[in-house]
Structure 1
């Protein structure tokens, strides 16, 4: 464990692990700590990682990856922990950047052509808008928040592959719903760059050694404020408010919303 209450672990097999609790809520009190965590996937979970999950008393894991991601790199979920697979991107037509990631890392020229022209920003902004309106995303986030409204679901862990995009929106939407300020939401979101990017140092060094500009990869392997801003702009355009997103977009009734806030605000 670390001294930073937001950074719950430095266990390599649980990279990007942190507690989303702590921010003050406009409803009074603050978002509960020790209730909802976020991380990368558990495909390489070590004994140390298992012990960390036991120490955190995690009872439920929400896996936001695609079915193919889960099949290729299944979580090593410890016995006794309930896991729900929620395929946020099931309905998404994939574009070039994820498919060409290995090529870009090996060929700085290809990376420059694809990432240097602003396509990475365009791709991620499109993905983050999809988090709000894509049918599979709506269904997945609805189920996530419905389940978190049940007291027995916590302490819970939410993850995707690197724990930054699909998980980033889950945490951001939940924090906003729980009354956290946008400043606190962005603080949690951008912690990924502090926690996760250093783990890619060997990759950045290799890329630089072959003539590449490591900053080109940072927008793909890390996060940028513009990504989350795209989700929030889409939410504002389509629904008008976080409350309307939960009520009209996710079709979560008021009683369930009240229970969700009751569980996670203290």
Structure 2
């Protein structure tokens, strides 16, 4: 029997670290303490980092852009216990250029269609990671992180409705951060009226994202093959969330 854990991994300085274990899948249940999805880690102090490494975090994948790394450096970048990687998942994508009714859906689909190399790189890092927990994160733990989490859960056989609910959990968890995000956007000279829709976390956005993958590729596994992931890499990704230790 799997050990029991809380989904929300509470660490001072973070708001949205969540375990992807404990979801019903084709293999029974996804495994706890294999993958953690998270918001920004820049507020962590030494005790918070030690809490994560003591729990078993050995790989950190930072999905943020260069300007985010500069303004809010990742404390794990120089941590000798952890392999730190940065892959800017949404690099070159401009939300202001999205013209549809759901700007986040447009952003997610643009990433899936045009950022093949970055998506494949992130998933390969997860597949090839050494033993221990892989933690991947962005700033809110909602969009870039949510997309990777959705791909991993779908590949593990988790039902779409459950993936949608996992995505939606971010909404209430980042509520205390929303005004901070707005203030940061103001400081960068961002138009706030166009920025506020990016703070949403609507179930329908993830419903439509998953539907797009099925409609255009047949399955998430077929999508991953289309962006260059091989059979062995896909198998290792599945095992990351489903295998016994």
8 Å contact 2:63–2:87 — kept in the other structure? yes
Larger Rg: 1
Matching of residue 31 in structure 1 with residue 30 in structure 2: yes
Change (3 A) 1:90 1:153: farther
Alignment partner of 1:69 is 2:49: no
- Does structure 1 conserve the Cα–Cα contact (< 8 Å) formed by 2:100 and 2:106? no
TM-score, normalised via structure 2 length: 0.82
TM-superposed deviation, 1:55:
2.9
Cα distance in 2 between the residues matched to 1:163 and 1:151: 20
Structure 2 partner of 1:123: 103
What secondary structure is seen at the aligned counterpart in 2 of 1:62? Answer: strand
Change in Cα spacing, 1:199 to 1:151, as seen in structure 2 (3 Å) is closer
- 1:56 Cα shift? 2.0
* Pair 1:93–1:194, CA change in 2 (3 A): closer
Conserved? CA contact 1:60–1:82, under 8 Å: yes
Shift of 1:48: 3.4
Kindly report which structure 2 residues correspond to 1:230-245, keeping only aligned pairs within 5 A, or say none: 230-245=208-223
Unaligned runs of 5+ in 2: 183-193
Distance 1:220 1:143 in 2: 25
Separation of aligned partners in 2, 1:74 and 1:199: 18
Q: Distance in 2 between matches of 1:187 and 1:263?
A: 21
Distance of 2:232 and 2:97 partners within structure 1: 42
Equivalent residue in structure 2 for 1:258, among 213, 230, 235: 235
Separation (CA, whole Å) in 1 of partners of 2:181 and 2:49: 27
Shift in Å at residue 201 of structure 1?
7.7
Contact 2:102 2:205 in 1 (8 A): no
- Residue 238 of structure 1 deviates from its aligned partner by 2.7
1:86 alignment partner in structure 2: 87
Q: Structure 2: how far apart are the matches of 1:220 and 1:174? A: 23
Provide TM-score, normalisation by structure 1: 0.76
Instruction: Give the alignment of 1:37-186 within 5 angstroms.
Output: 37-77=36-76, 78-95=79-96, 122-135=102-115, 138-150=116-128, 152=130, 154-186=132-164
Question: Is contact 1:120-1:219 (8 Å) kept?
Answer: no
Structure 1 residue runs of 5 or longer lacking an equivalent are 98-118, 205-215
Measured in 2, the distance between the counterparts of 1:57 and 1:8 equals 13
Cα-to-partner distance string for 1:185-205 (whole Å, 9 max, x where unaligned) = 12211111232214548999x
In 2, Cα distance between the equivalents of 1:164 and 1:5?
A: 19
User: Cα offset for 1:182?
Assistant: 1.2
Aligned residue pairs, count: 227
Distance 1:200 1:66, change over 3 A: closer
Describe the SS at the equivalent of 1:50: helix
